[in-house]
Amino acid sequence: MNELHGFYLEDLAPGMTASTAKTITDNDITLFTTVSGDDNPVHCNSEYAATTQFKGRIAQGLLTTSVMSSVLSNKLPGHGSILLEVSVRFKAPVYPGDTVKTTVTVREVMTEKRRVIFDTASFVENTKVLEGQATLLVDSKLPS
């Protein structure tokens, strides 16, 4: 692995892990609202959000999912990989100021298809906020 290219398919094995953490800010939620168009008032309106089951504004689920994308694209497998598929289950809300720690673990390497399946889990402190799976296309050292 180097800074311009992450792990190659042949370098990956089940059980390998990597993690990253990000503190979700009010500004992150505002910017994600602008980019995504997801302006649900539970994300954008403090007065409304206070009346919901969450008792305050929460981050968009896909904003939380983007922390998973960050660890996959920057650490494992890293640069040169392409995200093909993601499935997630949202387990708990993420509030402004929460630090989301996401860990990805190689579940399966499918050499012939150049695919790698990862299990993913995101936590705020000891609370699981997201779990899922991601499939990535990963470069091989061998000619195709």
pTM over cut 0.95 = no
Q: Which of 108, 129, 106, 132 is nearest to 120 (CA)?
A: 132
Which pLDDT value is given to residue 1? 55
pLDDT at 3: 66
Q: What's the fold here for domain 9-23+59-137?
A: Thiol Ester Dehydrase; Chain A (3.10.129)
Q: What is the pLDDT of residues 55-93, one digit of tens each?
A: 999 999 999 999 999 999 999 999 989 999 999 999 999
Query: Within the chain, which residues score under 50 in pLDDT?
Result: none
Other Cβ atoms less than 10 A from the Cβ of 44: the count is 15
Sequence spans of domains, the chain: 9-23+59-137
| Amino acid 143: pLDDT | 73
Q: In what order do the strands lie in the sheet with 115-124?
A: 17-23, 99-110, 115-124, 127-137, 82-90
Cα–Cα distance measured from residue 84 to residue 74, given in angstroms and rounded to the nearest whole number = 16
Residue 138 contacts residue 8 (beta carbons within 8 Å)? yes
